[in-house]
A = this chain, B = another copy of it.
Amino acid sequence: MREDKEIKKHCPCVSEIVTRRLSLYLRCLLMVNREGDAYISSKELAERFHLNADQIRKDLSYFGTFGKRGVGYNIEATIVKLKEVLGLTQVYNVAIAGAGNLGTALADYPRINRDSFRIVALFDRDNRKVGTKTKTGIHIYHISELEEWVKKLNVRMGIIAVPADAAQAIADRFVESGVRGIMNFAPMRIQLPSYIKTISADFKSQLEVLAYYVSKIKIGE
């Protein structure tokens, strides 16, 4: 038990479910920070954003103790800490494979190219697109040059926005070129080495999950 505790203190790994909440807390704190207060309690934060106060405290406690008893959490300091924990003090170069509607929409997504993320390249096999830029000025390269540009531009995250049948091959090429995190929008399960983090963001699959719940709601409530 004591040993477990020590291990936990030194192991930088927390589950994905906690990570998702940390990102959410950060978003909420950035919002309340514009209002000028210096402190907020877990209870107030929970009430304002439909969160769970116990869970906020436990999640934050994994990374040290930085709340003031009787007062709450210093908003600025907690924002800094959360950014640090999530690794957002670094800058990540991101490339997108597939310059279709979705790929270009993601490339031009508002306010992504600030702070921690830089979308540095799009790749496509359509020669008519190659050599052009998106509205916000991101270059489209030919997919055959993926390895070359991923290395040259020091890309650490790859986004897959190509059709399902091409997804696995593109993922392999990203990883081979040094990418360490993949976000997969293709409706297709991809298999990668365990040291690569993969997040599935498949639109159709999410609609199906929604369908399950919507179909259970009786008509007329």
Contact = CB atoms under 8 A, between A and B. Distances in A.
B207 A183 contact: yes
Interface stretch (A21-29, A36-44, A123-131, A143-151): A21-29
A15 B43 CA distance: 27
Contacts of A106: 102, 203
A20 interface: yes
Given A23-B208, A209-B19, A209-B23, A109 B214 contact: no
Contacts of A104: 101, 105
Interface in A42-77: 49-50
Contact of A116 (B86, B87, B101, B211): B211
A156 B16 CA distance: 30
Interface residues of A, number: 63
A8 interface: no
Q: How many copies does the complex hold?
A: 2
B180 A197 contact: no
A88 interface: yes
A178 to B, nearest CB: 10
Nearest to A215: B87
A132 interface: no
Nearest to A182: B210
A193 to B, nearest CB: 10
B112 A108 contact: no
A19 B204 CA distance: 13
A216 interface: yes
A126 to B, nearest CB: 15
Contacts of A111: 187, 204
Interface of A: 12-13, 16, 19-20, 22-24, 26-28, 49-50, 85-88, 90, 92, 94, 100-102, 104-106, 108-112, 116-117, 156-157, 163, 180-181, 183, 187-189, 191, 195, 197, 199, 201, 203-217, 221
